[in-house]
């Protein structure tokens, strides 16, 4: 049974999938320091560097991960975002699934990449999302999580509303130390953290955390 917030999020991304995919085709919004964190993450992974792009959206980060030597594949809640990922990036497998209930065997991936994909779920969902991400990560593998810094929930998507799309999209902001503590509670060892101030096109600070599943964990 879908979680209430996921029903809203899925509907919103299904509605705006084409405008989102046409607007962000690659790494236009990322700052060099964030790309450096992704490069660092890719460099930590063991061969074959199979990576789950967890919440891949329309797949814009898949070619970037591949260019860093990863073998990425995607999963996303929104069938319309996955449709665009499959059509725009046919070299990479992408499927529809919630991060709270992944359809992969244990220890499938060398890396799990969550690029702004936990931001629409409330705190109550985070533990089931991270439990699944850790389950599909092999011991010694690495998880990367990117998110907006802050606290509380914001109603977002006004840009889409201005274009005439009738959507409800909520975004949950988190403090970096809280995110670190939550990952540690799942048995992960945090190995890198970035928090940066917003650039002019943004309203909030941004964070990236990388954590490792211990070999015996």
Q: Which residues bind ligand SAM (CB under 6 A)?
A: 6, 9, 13, 24, 55-57, 60-61, 76-78, 81, 98-100, 115-117, 120-121
The minimum distance between CB 84 and ligand SAM, in angstroms, equals: 10
Q: 196-204 long-range CB contacts below 8 Å, 24 or more apart?
A: 196/31, 196/33, 196/34, 199/31, 201/29, 204/148, 204/149, 204/150, 204/173
Residue with Cβ nearer ligand SAM (51 or 61): 61
Task: Give me the residues paired with residue 54 across strands.
Answer: 75
The minimum distance between CB 42 and ligand SAM, in angstroms, equals: 16
Give the SS3 label for residue 41. helix
Residue with Cβ nearer ligand SAM (67 or 214): 67
Residue with Cβ nearer ligand SAM (13 or 160): 13
Residue with Cβ nearer ligand SAM (100 or 206): 100
What's phi and psi for 28, nearest 5 deg? -55, -45
The minimum distance between CB 161 and ligand SAM, in angstroms, equals: 16
The minimum distance between CB 106 and ligand SAM, in angstroms, equals: 19
148-to-52, 86, 206 alpha-carbon distances in Å:
21, 27, 5
């Amino acid at each position: 049974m879908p979680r209430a917030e996921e029903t809203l999020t899925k509907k919103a991304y299904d509605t705006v999938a084409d405008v989102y995919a046409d607007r962000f085709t690659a790494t236009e919004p990322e700052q060099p320091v964030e790309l450096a964190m992704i490069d660092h993450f890719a460099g930590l992974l063991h061969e074959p560097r199979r990576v789950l792009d967890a919440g891949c959206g329309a797949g814009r980060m898949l070619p970037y991960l591949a260019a860093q030597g990863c073998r990425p594949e995607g999963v996303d809640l929104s069938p319309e975002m996955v449709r665009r990922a499959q059509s725009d990036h046919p070299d990479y497998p992408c499927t529809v699934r919630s991060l709270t209930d992944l359809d992969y065997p244990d220890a499938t991936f060398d890396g799990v990449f969550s690029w702004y994909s936990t931001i629409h779920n409330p705190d109550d969902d985070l533990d089931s999302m991270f439990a699944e991400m850790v389950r599909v990560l092999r011991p010694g593998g690495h998880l990367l999580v990117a998110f907006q810094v802050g606290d509380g929930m914001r109603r977002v998507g006004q840009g889409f509303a201005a274009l005439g799309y009738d959507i409800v999209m909520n975004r949950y902001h988190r403090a970096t130390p809280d995110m670190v503590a939550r990952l540690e509670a799942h048995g992960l060892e945090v190995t890198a953290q970035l928090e940066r101030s917003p650039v002019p096109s943004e309203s909030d600070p941004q964070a990236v955390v990388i954590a490792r599943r211990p070999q015996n964990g």
